[in-house]
A and B are shown apart, each in its own frame.
Chain A
């Protein structure tokens, strides 16, 4: 009997042990599954326009840039938070002393989304295609340093040297924009090295990006990245609709949001509204200084007078612009470089303070005089000019109205004209039939080389007086020299010295009257985990591969 009981007890003990073993095995399976499977979920947000291309080397618009950022694999990446350059597909890189050559050591064992292997051949193919003049790639233009061709030398399957005909300043950072294409894949731009790949495109409706199953990166816990299963990008230009959909939970984030919407959102859900501080973007105005412009000669004389421009700058209350137009979500602009650009901003410069009295004195020194509340120049011409700006930009229209009142206090009559964008561009860049213009500059490049097209007097975008055969003023000659000097050396310190001086000259001469640097405002749903909004584009999803959605959101979709 007791044996029987013992046997029974032994059997029961055995069963218990087996059950415990099974439970342990099940738990182990669960744990290991969660360690290696993806967190999943679909992130949803909007593109404000139709992407013009999926070819990463031809990208030129915001929507295509977003898709390239999410799908393209690059050799090096500018960290959107620290602004430092970090390795990606390249383990390391080395610049030659003369600044003409860069050598990359590539990661091994990386494959494209279609399974084809990644090697230095792909980098060589990408660079050759990028530099092909027939492609007309704006990304490629940044690499054009002199006459001659760009050569690539494959040193090993995981090592490549790229040789340029002339030194390029800040060369390594330019590779942040170059998404590597496969040399052999029949899918061409469909084979990608980035965390996501284009799975579906419905023209005018949406772009669906799915996780790249062959993405090479892992997180600190050894889990394959990206965490998300997919990203749905709805094409939606109407910001009201975008905000409504965000509030309804149909969208997870809004990458860039206007200050009005931001404040409304912050009033009800402050945890969803993110202000990352001053961005690189600036709003500014300038006067037409083109010699052949169809404007009266006496007005051209005002506009070419640095004292006049400086006085106008002093008479504008930038603090009010920031506070009233942007509800405090902007900073008075100081110069061509936003203080948000940590390395290149000249710390010695300060924003022009609002000093209407000093502005009037400055004008009076130049022979301007007040008569019955109106300002007249030496010859007795009433000071009156128009400011053209684009329609549809409420903040800019409001700024123009405030500038109108500020200058009205000096007796200057300002007429505001809003034009559709094509007409405006035609006037300011082809016919030069305008007096003053107000526009914004969306700066995505930290390096001053990206502004060569603005500062060189021969450049097309030298807005106040473009395409000069030779510099018409001494200070423009000096800016030309300094910009060439900073572009022809690879020594960051020397480059910084040159560009600091450019910023000082611009502050003195005021060819552009910088108004404000808008803050980088965004909205991120509480369902999104791991987002870390910054000031550099793309502000909210720069670390998309590490973003996850909360389990509740995943379950509800």
Chain B
């Protein structure tokens, strides 16, 4: 394990541990409004200041990290699994299956998702708790986010299908699912990992955007997405640099994930 990977591990572990200890580190909670001090700068009481309605930003970052770090990877797992199933299998089978899968993913990618999501929101009941809303949001992201990854995976699997070791395995009498599971899927691992890690920040940002459609994490529950939405007032950055904390945390965590990924790729 090289230094950068060790450092990345430490960072990810530290962030995870801190977010899990949110109850102790920020006992006031993420929803408590300190209305006497809205938009306050950092202080002993509020390490990262307070937000527009006086909620402790440090607490919201910790609880938001917990939600996003748990659910964004979960959504990425769902989408990568779907991508592996559709793209990986189509690439492995080749021929008409590959053409059909590519046509289907192209069609899927060209759909106007914004309008479909608005329809989904319209169909959803209004009285759902914030926790249910966050689960629905990330599930939707996971179910819709597989197409781009599937295209990449189908191309990789297609290349593997005609590789020497697969031909040799076929010549040895290995066929069907066994050949796919033993020889093709393990060789798709680097691509799968890459797609998985890439999807996480995409889903975090997508969740922030979904908030605009009323599909994001419902108030008062925080998430990285909803915290990033606070950065809309670009003018105040110089005056209130502490508001950048969620963005910095996102960058640090994602960079750590990428460092871990690069090592995974090397190992693979």
A contacts, CB < 8 Å to B: 240, 243-244, 260-261, 264, 320, 323-325, 384-386, 388, 391-392, 394, 397-398, 400-402, 404-405, 415-420, 423, 426-427, 433-435
Contact = CB atoms under 8 A, between A and B. Distances in A.
A385 B128 CA distance: 10
Contacts of B122: 423, 426-427
Contact of B127 (A386, A391, A394): A386
B233 interface: yes
Interface stretch (B31-39, B78-86, B94-102): B31-39
Contact of B219 (A243, A261, A384, A416): A416
A324 B53 CA distance: 6
A401 B234 CA distance: 23
A435 B213 contact: no
Given A397-B219, A401-B220, A415 B129 contact: yes
B116 interface: no
Contacts of B53: 324-325, 398, 401-402
B236 interface: yes
- Nearest first, the 6 closest Cβ-Cβ pairs linking A and B are A386-B126, A418-B214, A419-B214, A416-B219, A324-B38, A386-B127
24 contacts: A240-B233, A240-B234, A240-B235, A243-B235, A320-B35, A325-B53, A391-B211, A391-B212, A392-B212, A394-B52, A397-B219, A398-B53, A401-B53, A401-B219, A401-B220, A402-B53, A404-B220, A415-B129, A415-B218, A416-B219, A417-B218, A418-B212, A418-B214, A423-B122
A324 B35 contact: yes
Nearest to B129: A415
Q: Which bracket fits the contact residues of B? A: 20 to 34
A547 B30 CA distance: 50
Nearest to A436: B126
A264 B218 contact: no
Given A400-B219, A415-B126, A420 B52 contact: no
B126 A388 contact: yes
Given A324-B54, A401-B220, A423-B121, A264 B236 contact: yes
B211 A418 contact: yes
Contacts of B219: 397, 400-401, 404, 416
Nearest to B37: A324
Contacts of B212: 391-392, 418, 420
A130 to B, nearest CB: 37
B130 A415 contact: yes
A401 B33 CA distance: 9
A424 to B, nearest CB: 9
A325 B35 CA distance: 10
Given A325-B53, A397-B219, A415 B128 contact: yes
Nearest to B216: A418
Nearest to B126: A386
B118 interface: yes
B214 A398 contact: no
Interface in B118-151: 118, 121-122, 126-130
Interface string B203-246: 00000000111100011100000000000111110010000000
Contacts of A243: 235
Contact of A434 (B54, B126, B130): B126
A392 B214 CA distance: 10
Given A385-B127, A433-B126, 6 more contacts: A324-B38, A325-B53, A388-B126, A401-B53, A401-B220, A415-B129
A397 B128 CA distance: 17
Given A244-B235, A264-B235, A415-B127, A391 B220 contact: no
B47 to A, nearest CB: 21
Contacts of A264: 235-236, 239
Contacts of A240: 232-235
